[in-house]
Amino acid sequence: MSKTLGELARLVSGEIMGDEGLVIRGVASVEEAKEGDITFAVSEKFLRIAESSKASAVVVPSGIDNFCKPVIKVENPRLAFAKILEIYAPAKPEPGGIHKTAVISDRVKIGKGVTIGPYSIIEEGSIIEDNVYLSGFVYLGREVFIGEGTFIHPRVTILDRISIGKKVIIHSGTVIGSDGFGFVRKMNGSYYKIPQIGRVVIEDNVEIGANVTIDRATTGETRIGQGTKIDNLVHIAHNVSIGSNVAIVALVGISGSCKIGSGVILAGQAGVTDHVCIGDNTVVAAKSGVTKDIPSDTFVSGFPARNHIKQKKVKAMVNRLPELVKRVQRIEKMLGDK
């Protein structure tokens, strides 16, 4: 899996300073790079660490003009690094056909180049497009649709009538299409279940982490827009609608019927109350609790979430409260007030 620096530079359309023929055997972060590895650095700090590291070459931003090691200069070093990682990644599993232990019901349509791993269950009427890869223990309910090139890791549940787009990646343990949490409270305090008869639609190029839960809609659909990336242990409730290219970090919870715009970032452990709209490109800080609509292009934090700058100002004042109390005491003393 060795490449020369020249080959890697061509791959990422980068410019070389140093020996084109240098052999690169692996790829690593600046902290763990060893001889023969290529690494990358963006900021001044990491450029210094890279220089003193054992890495044999470094991917750096175009501006850099002198560096004590061979470099590949590119506009976006992180993107170039991602592409170089692809070269050194272990081979993806070969398409394995349909394992003899897979339980496949009637009226299932299966495309070309499809892999269905051991102990998978495909219920009636499901459609699996070309080049889909289902690992072991995958459960597809009735009338599920899986788009071309989608990769589903082991132990994933996709329930009845759910639709998954093309080139989607779903990690292990995730459940898509569980019932929404909908009940009517009766006079005697008991809960009456509201049937959840809607669907979930996952658009193309979405990636969903491990042990995520996405509930089906009561009626209509829960929808995850194309290119959206969801981390582990995230909960998305019924009838939520999420735009494209949204990033949702681990342990976030989104309540029923929320509308999340495109390009939004929800940081870890944030939560959103039901029926809230969040505008495009808004950032919600970690652990925030969004309780009302948030416009586009905003950065909010705290609970209830609001403008992050204001929130920080208030927080700073809270931390100086002991001082404020002393100032008031001094004034009271001056005024002879007890």
Which of the 8 DSSP states describes residue 145?
E
Q: Which of 262, 277, 299, 307 binds a copy of itself (CB under 8 A)?
A: 262
What amino acid occupies position 243? G
Q: Which of 54, 107, 109, 193 binds a copy of itself (CB under 8 A)?
A: 193
Which of the 8 DSSP states describes residue 256?
T
Residue 220 lies near a copy of itself (rule: CB under 8 A): yes
- Residues between 88 and 127 that touch a copy of itself (CB under 8 A): 88-90, 99, 101, 103, 117-119, 121
Q: Which of 23, 35, 48, 191 binds a copy of itself (CB under 8 A)?
A: 191
Q: State which residue, 113 or 220, has the beta carbon closest to a copy of itself.
A: 220
Report the Cα 36 to chain-centroid distance in Å.
31
Place of tokens 């892999």: 115
Token code pair at residue 137: 């223990």
Q: Which of 271, 278, 282, 284 binds a copy of itself (CB under 8 A)?
A: 271
In whole angstroms, the minimum distance from the beta carbon of 65 to a copy of itself comes to: 24
Contact 304, 292 (CB under 8 A): yes
Contact 334, 318 (CB under 8 A): no
3-state secondary structure of 331: helix
Contacts of 66 (CB under 8 A, 6+ apart): none
Residue 235 lies near a copy of itself (rule: CB under 8 A): yes
Residue 330 lies near a copy of itself (rule: CB under 8 A): yes
In whole angstroms, the minimum distance from the beta carbon of 66 to a copy of itself comes to: 26
For residue 90, whether the previous peptide bond is cis, meaning omega lies within 30 degrees of 0, is no
Q: How many chain residues bind a copy of itself (CB under 8 A)?
A: 108
Q: Write the binding mask 12 to 41 for a copy of itself: x where contact by CB under 8 A, - elsewhere.
A: ---------------xxx-xx---------
Count how many Cα atoms sit within 13 Å of the Cα of residue 118 in the half-sphere of its side chain: 0
Residue 10 lies near a copy of itself (rule: CB under 8 A): no
Query: Cα(330)–Cα(12) distance, rounded to whole angstroms?
Result: 66
Q: State which residue, 112 or 296, has the beta carbon closest to a copy of itself.
A: 296
Q: State which residue, 68 or 335, has the beta carbon closest to a copy of itself.
A: 335
Token code pair at residue 5: 């620096």
Place of tokens 């839960």: 213
Residue 133 lies near a copy of itself (rule: CB under 8 A): no
What amino acid occupies position 279? G
Token code pair at residue 203: 């658009």
Query: Cα(246)–Cα(256) distance, rounded to whole angstroms?
Result: 17
Residue 181 lies near a copy of itself (rule: CB under 8 A): yes
In whole angstroms, the minimum distance from the beta carbon of 113 to a copy of itself comes to: 20
Q: State which residue, 5 or 122, has the beta carbon closest to a copy of itself.
A: 122
Residue 268 lies near a copy of itself (rule: CB under 8 A): yes
238 is catalytic: yes
Token code pair at residue 44: 């001044």
Residues forming the active site: 238
